[in-house]
Amino acid sequence: MKAPICNVCLKSDVLCSNCEQKLEDDEITELEIKVSRILKDLSNEYGSLRDSEIRHVYNTENVLVIVTAEGDGAKVVGRGGEIVKEIADQVNKSIRVVERSEDDREVIKGLLSPAEIRSINTVFKPDGQAQKVVVPDQYRGKVNLSIEELETLVSNITGTDYQISFEE
């Protein structure tokens, strides 16, 4: 399993100097360390986790977002969601797994699930252009993330700023 911390640190309760430096430089968080270690422990029971890669873990008010490498989302979710259920029990939050992708639309779709994307548009403003994601209003409140959290997560994961809008 590939994680934000090295394999030695995954297996022990202390961090090596390299991973400790990453933590001090805010390249990784305590939460990423905790989730990575939980997944490492679960990899003994669930073989699919052994060849998966965890890129990042984001903490929001209601949801823990685990970003995996492309193609690894299903491995982390597990059959019938059994792996994420175990993680959720250990961190006392619901879990959303999103695969990192070259296509921003796929990342946004993963974050908005179960909502659908109606369109992604380029909006021209006096100070430049912006990207706007339009989501049907019927999904407002069903995503479990605030608009601000969604916009921050999309920006952090994709590197591009998007405005999320729920519209009729």
Mean pLDDT of the chain: 92
What DSSP designation does 149 have? Answer: H
Asked if 98 and 117 touch (Cβ cutoff 8 Å), the reply is no
Q: pLDDT value at position 168?
A: 86
Q: What is the percent of the chain with per-residue pLDDT over 90, rounded to a whole number?
A: 82
Say if residue 143's pLDDT is above 90: no
Asked if 83 and 74 touch (Cβ cutoff 8 Å), the reply is no
Q: Does domain 103-168 have CATH number 3.30.300.20?
A: yes
Enumerate residues 6+ apart whose C-beta is below 8 A from 85: 78
Q: pLDDT value at position 142?
A: 87
Q: pLDDT value at position 48?
A: 87
Residue 31 exposed, middle or buried by CB count within 10 Å (0-12, 13-18, 19+): middle
CATH class of the domain at 1-100: alpha beta
Q: pLDDT value at position 2?
A: 93
Enumerate residues 6+ apart whose C-beta is below 8 A from 119: 133, 134
Give the 3-state secondary structure of 43-63.
Answer: CCCCHHHHHCEEEEEEECCCE
Residue closest to 61 by CA, chosen among 92, 84, 36: 92
Q: pLDDT value at position 134?
A: 95
Which parts of the chain fold into alpha helices (H)?
A: 7-11, 17-24, 30-42, 73-77, 82-91, 104-112, 147-158
Q: pLDDT value at position 128?
A: 81
For residue range 30-71, what is the model confidence (pLDDT) as tens digits?
A: 999 999 999 999 999 998 899 999 999 999 999 999 999 999
Enumerate residues 6+ apart whose C-beta is below 8 A from 113: 96, 143
For residue range 59-113, what is the model confidence (pLDDT) as tens digits?
A: 999 999 999 999 999 999 999 999 999 999 999 999 999 999 999 999 999 999 8
Any idea how long the chain is?
Answer: 168
Q: Do domains 1-100 and 103-168 have the same CATH topology?
A: yes
What gap in Å lies between CA 90 and CA 36, rounded to an integer? 12
Could you tell me the pTM of the whole model? Answer: 0.90
Domain limits, the chain: 1-100, 103-168
